[in-house]
Structure 1
Amino acid sequence: MIEYELAENDLGEVRFAISPLNELVLSLRTLRDPGRFPLQLPWLRATEAARAELPLDLLRALTNEALWSPDFLTPRPYTPLGRIDAEFAALTGTPAAVVRADLVAVHPAELPPVLRGRPEKVLDRVLAALRAYWEACFAPYWPRMRSVLEADVVHRGRVMAQAGLAAMFADLDPHVRLDGAVVSVRLRANLAYRTSTAGRGLTLAPSLFSRRATAPISAAEPPQIMYPARGLATLWETETSPSADALAGLIGRGRAGLMGLLETPASSTDLARRLGVTPTAVNQHLRALRAAGLLASARHGRSVLYHRSDLGDSLVRGSGRV
């Protein structure tokens, strides 16, 4: 079990961040064992041809049978909305000793052939492979992925503001809990350490490629918990279920469809994609629903995310739609 002692048991000790690099590296798990990630199968099918042109032996070697990855490839993000170019640039300065130690931690018995050699050269090969993987398989889909991750962060922020820090951790993942001033993460692996967040804080990073909460292998790494993001089941949806007749008769079928989708926060761009209409059309409905008090909105980075208000939740529940 991993334990983080919060230096101050308040909201200021915890922050959220989204890292495209972390998502890129964690997604390598789907290449090693796609059966564990059924909700990502549409993406795997869509990128199958592109992956055929990549150094798959090297990419697969960056995880092991337990689906661990080297800590240096999943560093704690230091900005709420990371940029892949900046994250790749930061990796180029990784010390050779760290590269070697982290690879050995993932493959303690023997390094795969593609990861052998001078650490500096290995790092260059790894970064080149990851950049190619990003361009071929992630860049076209990242805006869609990011919208789901941003919606998760907005939801966690609402829980934390309304119900407190302990409730937010309880909602995060069944394997994470806050007991007093200690946050514990229960892992499958026989791995245990305890460290303080003093002077470093605790970063929470939602992920589309984590089935349960994870933390760095090494206690020397900055405190971080990566956890499964809400809304993953909606990531590759292209259509919605029919609206309940009662709600549709009251506010119209299009707006009823939006209300059904907005149980979890989403941007107008994401909603337009899922409904198969233009963002302009969606924005007209969103403005009307928000003016009626059925929706609320919150800005996250450059995106505005919409979600049902308490009144909107009551209306949808009363219509029998949920």
Structure 2
Amino acid sequence: MRKILFASGDVSRVRLVSTVGMESETVFALDMLGRAGRTPFAEWHKKVHAELGSRAQTLKTLVKALRPTSALLSFRERPTQMHEEPLEAAGIGLAEAQAAIEEFREVAVRPTWMSIRRHLEGERSARGRILATGGVDRLLATLHSRVRWDSKSLQLQGCDGEDVRLDGRGLALAPSFFLHDRDPVLVWECGQPTLVFPALPDPAGTGGEQVKRGERALIALVGRTRAEVMRALTAKSTTGQLAGRLGVSPAGASQHTGVLRQAGLITTERSRNTVLHALTPLGHALLGEV
């Protein structure tokens, strides 16, 4: 069991975010791929297997080689010799593993990312209401059946590793779409500990595979990736944050924000050394039609 230890004032620094981004969700989806097509992911499982064909087996072998999930997450962030050795033992090279995961992301996650984000934003809103009415204690006490809160620490059952002292850094809480039926996972985002917990299943199907008509119109108007940028900017974000959430390079994210800014759909402002992007009223109105 792993603990997150709170000092005086740390409780006030707990915050909710809607997602840790497409790259992390891709890792959780990889783990889901290796399990039998369990509901509510049976249709997604079948579709992804059909598109990947025999390449799905390579991905399953890769996931087994890089267990636990924390190892796969660290591999996506920065491959090292620690990852290379088990992959080579499984007959998979580093470049092959990276290419396979990127293909999987494009097949299994990106096509419905906008709908997945919408579902996660709904989960964040629901948790936000718990926070507003019951405070942080109520939020942490109802986070997950495998998480225990005792006013000084969060006890993560089934989570290995050293205890984490917040020491004023704060704690972010993020729902995950593909972490379904799994224990919460502790990750680090920009130096801050983030506890990722499974969101409630989407009753409409994995990520809402039947994209709404308005969403199709938005994609036709600005393109899929720029539509995803607009979705991500329901809260102000830096270029780096956008890149992480969308699974694109910072240069790619900057290019898309430039086009959206020229179209009057977003604004960009500098705050000291940070550039922040936000939706304009027109951008909000356009998203409101989706």
So what's the TM-score if we normalise by structure 1? 0.56
Q: Is the 8 A contact 1:206 1:229 kept in 2?
A: yes
Taking the aligned partners of 1:176 and 1:31, their CA distance within structure 2 comes to: 25
**Matching of residue 96 in structure 1 with residue 97 in structure 2:** no
Q: Map residues 131-280 of structure 1 onto 2, 5 A cutoff.
A: 131-187=102-158, 191=160, 193-210=162-179, 211-216=181-186, 223-236=193-206, 273=212
> 2:67 & 2:116 partners in 1: Cα distance?
21
Counterpart residue number, 2:17? 16
Q: Give the whole-Å Cα distance in 2 for the aligned partners of 1:9 and 1:217.
A: 18
Change in CA separation of 1:271 and 1:25 when aligned onto 2, cut-off 3 Å: closer
Q: Deviation string for 1:206-260 (max 9, x for gaps)? A: 1122213322499xx963322111242334498xxxxxxxxxxxxxxxxxxxxxx
Q: Does the residue aligned with 2:41 lie in a helix, a strand or coil?
A: helix
Q: Secondary structure at the match of 1:198?
A: coil
Shift of 1:40: 0.6
1:72-108, CA deviations, whole angstroms, 9 ceiling, x for partnerless residues? Answer: 5269xxxxxxxxxxxx7xx3xx2624545xx76xx9x
Larger Rg: 1
Summarize the Cα distance change of 1:26–1:272 in structure 2 as closer, same or farther, 3 Å threshold. closer
Contact 2:16 2:128 in 1 (8 A): no
Distance 1:34 1:112, change over 3 A: farther
1:114 aligns with 2:116: no
8 Å CA contact 1:28, 1:62 repeated in 2: no
Q: Determine the structure 2 residue equivalent to 1:5.
A: 5
Asked if structure 2 preserves the Cα contact closer than 8 Å seen for 1:50 and 1:137, the reply is no
What is the alpha-carbon distance in structure 2 between the residues aligned to residue 58 and residue 200 of structure 1?
39
CA contact 1:5–1:181 (8 Å) conserved in 2: yes
Counterpart residue type for residue 184 of structure 2: T
Deviations 1:22-80 (A, max 9, x none): 11111112221124x31011212233321116x334321343399732435269xxxxx
RMSD: 3.8
Structure 1 residue 272: Cα displacement: 7.8
Separation (CA, whole Å) in 1 of partners of 2:74 and 2:124: 19
Q: Matches of 1:20 and 1:159 in 2, distance apart?
A: 26
SS in 2 for 1:232: coil
Task: Report % sequence identity.
Answer: 21
Q: State the distance in 2 between where 1:13 and 1:217 align.
A: 15
SS at match of 2:155: strand
Q: TM-score, normalised by structure 2?
A: 0.62
How far does residue 150 in structure 1 lie from its aligned partner after superposition?
1.2
Q: Look up the match of 1:28.
A: 30
For residues 69 and 237 of structure 1, the distance between their equivalents in structure 2, rounded to whole angstroms, comes to: 22
Q: What does residue range 61-72 of structure 1 map to in structure 2 within 5 Å? A: 61-64=61-64, 68-71=68-71
Q: Which runs of 5+ in 1 are unaligned?
A: 76-87, 116-120, 239-269, 280-298, 307-322
Q: 1:69 to 1:300 in 2, by over 3 A?
A: same
Is contact 1:144–1:235 with CA below 8 Å preserved after alignment?
A: no
How many residues are paired up?
A: 219
1:63 to 1:72, Cα distance in 2 relative to 1, 3 A: closer
